[in-house]
């Protein structure tokens, strides 16, 4: 679920202030939106319901200034905990115009527990991020990074992406952006795949935009493209994540939308039977 990343770089428009460059008008969501998902893992060729996930959006303040807070919670079921326990809590603060401000990810995955944090700042046309990863024993790794482009985390990129208009993208087009991942800033790539009708876990079919989040690994003298996550995003003004296919080290997983409330616009992407 991490990713719920979608679009990105928002084409890095050259403007005088990087904070302005990192800002986008919110056209997709409102405070009070709440989305629920069912999680499934592939276990020995059988798809097993593995848990639940929720994504909530609320208006708040950050350092006494108006902001939005996003919370993404993923919890594995007791049945799955026996094999692989997962308790992931992601929190992100962005400004009124969706510029990244703060990110936190607390992740209990199997026997591993870490807390990743990122603090964002902007000065003289440069984007700065300070990151810290804290381990279960209290040990912490820190790093700092700056870039002339806007730097995102995995939730702030979603916030901006949902206000993006994809009509000008062509199938196969690649979108690149830097993202803070806890201990480093990595170059990320999204590829627009086109449109597809997707049935969710509420017996409703949605018309979706399809994106692939990929990574590149060295294979001899060339780099090989590996699919990490496939996103299916509602093809309407809400741009809600409807389904995610995740390709993990230990197998594969899927997340299906089950319910949504507090959405800003009607779900015009629903495909009638």
Task: Give the pLDDT score at 2.
Answer: 38
Task: Give the pLDDT score at 85.
Answer: 63
Query: CA torsion angle for 56, 209, 154, 80 (degrees, to 10)?
Result: 70
Task: Give the pLDDT score at 8.
Answer: 31
Radius of gyration of the chain (CA): 18
- Determine, yes or no, domain membership for 4: no
pLDDT in tens, 40-68: 888 667 788 888 999 999 999 999 999 99
- Determine, yes or no, domain membership for 20: yes
- Determine, yes or no, domain membership for 55: yes
- CA pair distance 22, 178, nearest whole angstrom: 12
- Determine, yes or no, domain membership for 267: no
- Determine, yes or no, domain membership for 85: yes
Contacts of 212 (CB under 8 A, 6+ apart): 190, 191, 193, 227, 229, 230, 231
- Determine, yes or no, domain membership for 270: no
Q: Are 223 and 231 in contact (CB under 8 A)?
A: no
Query: CA torsion angle for 72, 77, 78, 79 (degrees, to 10)?
Result: -150
**Percent of the chain with pLDDT strictly greater than 90:** 52
- Determine, yes or no, domain membership for 195: yes
CATH number at residue 236: 2.40.360
- Determine, yes or no, domain membership for 266: no
Ranges under pLDDT 50 in the chain: 1-18
pTM of the shown model: 0.85
| Domain span including residue 88 | 10-261
Token match 């510029």: residue? 99
Structurally, how many domains does the chain consist of? 1
């Amino acid at each position: 679920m991490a990713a719920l990343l979608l679009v990105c770089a928002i084409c890095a428009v050259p403007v005088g202030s990087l904070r302005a460059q990192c800002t986008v008008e919110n056209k997709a969501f409102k405070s009070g939106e709440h989305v629920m998902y069912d999680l499934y893992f592939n276990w020995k060729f059988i798809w097993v319901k593995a848990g639940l996930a929720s994504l909530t959006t609320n208006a708040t303040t950050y350092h006494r200034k108006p902001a939005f807070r996003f919370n993404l919670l993923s919890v594995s079921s007791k049945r799955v905990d026996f094999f692989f326990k997962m308790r992931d809590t992601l929190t992100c603060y962005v400004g009124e115009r969706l510029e990244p401000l703060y990110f936190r990810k607390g992740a209990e995955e199997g026997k591993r527990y870490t807390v990743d944090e990122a603090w964002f700042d902007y000065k003289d046309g440069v984007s700065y991020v300070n990151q810290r990863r804290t381990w279960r024993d209290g040990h912490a790794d820190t790093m700092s990074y700056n870039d002339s482009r806007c730097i995102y985390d995995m939730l702030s990129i979603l916030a901006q992406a949902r206000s993006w208009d994809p009509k000008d993208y062509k199938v196969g087009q690649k979108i690149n952006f830097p993202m803070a991942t806890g201990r480093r800033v990595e170059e990320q790539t999204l590829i627009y795949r086109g449109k597809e009708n997707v049935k969710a876990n509420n017996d409703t079919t949605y018309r979706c935009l399809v994106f692939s989040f990929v990574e590149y690994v060295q294979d001899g003298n060339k780099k090989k493209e590996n699919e990490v996550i496939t996103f299916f995003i509602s093809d309407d003004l809400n741009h809600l994540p409807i389904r995610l296919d995740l390709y993990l080290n230990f197998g594969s997983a899927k997340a299906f939308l089950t319910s949504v409330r507090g959405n800003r616009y009607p779900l015009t992407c629903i495909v009638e039977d």
